[in-house]
Amino acid sequence: MKQAALTITNGLLVTREGAPVSGAIRCDGDRIVAIGADVVPQEGDRVEDARGKLIAPGLVDLGVFAIDKPALHFGGITRAALMPDQNPPLDRSSTVRYAAQSGKPDLWVHPLAAATRGLEGSDIAEIALMRDAGAKAVATGRHWIADSGTMLRLLRYCAMLGLTVIAHAEDSGLTGSAVATASEMATRLGLPSAPVEAEALAVARDIALAEMAGAKLHFRQITTRGALDLIRAAQKRGVAVSAGVTPAHFMLSDTALADFRTFCRFSPPLRREDDRKAVIEAIGDGTISIIASGHDPRGPEDKRLPFADAEPGMAGAETLLPLTMNLVRDGVIDMAAAFRLLATNPAGLLGVNAGALEVGLQADIAIIDADRPWIVSSAKMAAAAGNTPFDGQGVQGRVLALWKGGLKVG
């Protein structure tokens, strides 16, 4: 039985450009049918009063490692691109198809096909079969494809299939078993480390190959000034290369590693302060076009270990929105840009009909109080595990209500 249409009134509508505008949004079925200041509820509509808060698109999280619905919904995420680093990896159409169905109806999972079989970096996987099973892009996973020939063939093949390649940018010859950035902090702690140039080298090679292949290339996490400069220059030349980042790399530097805090063990690792500032600059000037959570809940068995033995990753879904709101409050970006980074751009990369408040798009909508303060607490998180480096930190910005395809979540 079809649900009545939904009208959310009395809100501030997030637009693609400029400041949010007062108005309402009406959805019928799973689509947005009307939006603007003059929109009013029709008879029989379900009516929600936004009470002057933001009406925004549901977030599209490009690259999570676990389908952790409570955390994703808490964070206002209605669509999540699932990284292929699963057990088993998403390198077959059957696993991709299963993953694509795993979140419905209130969370849409967009699997990212493993670029190579077993994510081992050598044999290209059955990407066309996985695309037809629901994969929305191709990812190299947590690893760099070291063989340039393999990477070129992959990029050419994905260009033919119309899929973006999402790459991890760390030259494995330099990183080896590194768990930190080569710096004073890593030296003092005696942690295996690699120079920041490992990222720039990987980026330089992959940009060159993407240009040769005419492929669309997205670096999921770019965290260093050198790599960002290369991407900025390539974008100016018209190369179809984009970059993303997670909040950890614009909020924290490697000084957070003091005391061997494994909740700060990431891949790529936290960088030096200058690199953190470079990431913020790149978000401001548009070089970085996507902010994702990298959500990877890890329990004590993965984290309560010596630093180098701990698994990388953080439970980031719940803090994605408020930490991005920091950038708005600091004047780095405006509200429209924040939601382009969190929803519109990732939706565009995945080629899904969502990520913005526009007629005809999917009714994935969040009501957000951008100023609401709350304290991040590892112990109280909705996530499957509380591995956040922001435990105890005060943040602002919280989702008050969420709809996926017009259906209220929770």
| CB crowding 304-325: b at 16 or more within 10 Å, else e | eeebbebbbbbbbbbbbbbbbb
Q: How far is the CB of 379 from another protein (least distance, A)?
A: 10
Could you say which of 306, 351, 373, 394 contacts another protein (CB under 8 A)? Answer: 306
Write the interaction track for another protein spanning residues 85-104; mark x where CB under 8 A is met and - where it is not.
Answer: --------------------
Judging by DSSP bridges, how do beta strands 59-64 and 54-57 pair with one another?
Answer: unpaired
Name the residue with tokens 């408040």. 357
Check binding of 17 to another protein (CB under 8 A): no
Which tokens is 223 given?
Answer: 């965290």
State the DSSP H helix or E strand holding residue 140, giving kind and residue range, or none if neither: none
Q: How far is the CB of 187 from another protein (least distance, A)?
A: 4
Part in contact with another protein (CB under 8 A); list of ranges 122-130, 147-155, 300-308, 319-327: 300-308
Q: Which is nearer to another protein, 378 or 396 (CB)?
A: 378
Output helix, strand, coil percentages for the chain, rounded to the nearest 5: 35, 25, 40
Could you say which of 255, 378, 393, 396 contacts another protein (CB under 8 A)? Answer: 378
Could you say which of 191, 228, 252, 354 contacts another protein (CB under 8 A)? Answer: 191
CB 292 within 8 A of CB 61: yes
Check binding of 390 to another protein (CB under 8 A): no
Part in contact with another protein (CB under 8 A); list of ranges 243-251, 304-312, 326-334, 393-401: 304-312
Check binding of 299 to another protein (CB under 8 A): no
Entry field: residues in the chain:
410
Cα–Cα distance measured from residue 193 to residue 208, given in angstroms and rounded to the nearest whole number: 26
Which tokens is 126 given?
Answer: 């059955």
Could you say which of 129, 161, 308, 382 contacts another protein (CB under 8 A)? Answer: 308
Part in contact with another protein (CB under 8 A); list of ranges 8-16, 92-100, 189-197, 234-242: 189-197
In which order are the strands placed within the sheet that holds 165-167? 59-64, 77-82, 108-114, 137-139, 165-167, 217-219, 241-245, 288-291
CA-to-CA dists, residue 81 to 112, 115, 366, 371, angstroms: 6, 15, 18, 27
Check binding of 190 to another protein (CB under 8 A): yes
Q: Which is nearer to another protein, 183 or 362 (CB)?
A: 183
Could you say which of 50, 81, 189, 278 contacts another protein (CB under 8 A)? Answer: 189
Name the residue with tokens 């993407």. 210
Q: How far is the CB of 95 from another protein (least distance, A)?
A: 29
Cα–Cα distance measured from residue 73 to residue 223, given in angstroms and rounded to the nearest whole number: 27
Part in contact with another protein (CB under 8 A); list of ranges 28-36, 122-130, 184-192, 369-377: 184-192
Which residues would be at the binding site for another protein (CB under 8 A)? 176-177, 182-184, 186-193, 195, 259-263, 300-301, 303-309, 378, 386-387, 391
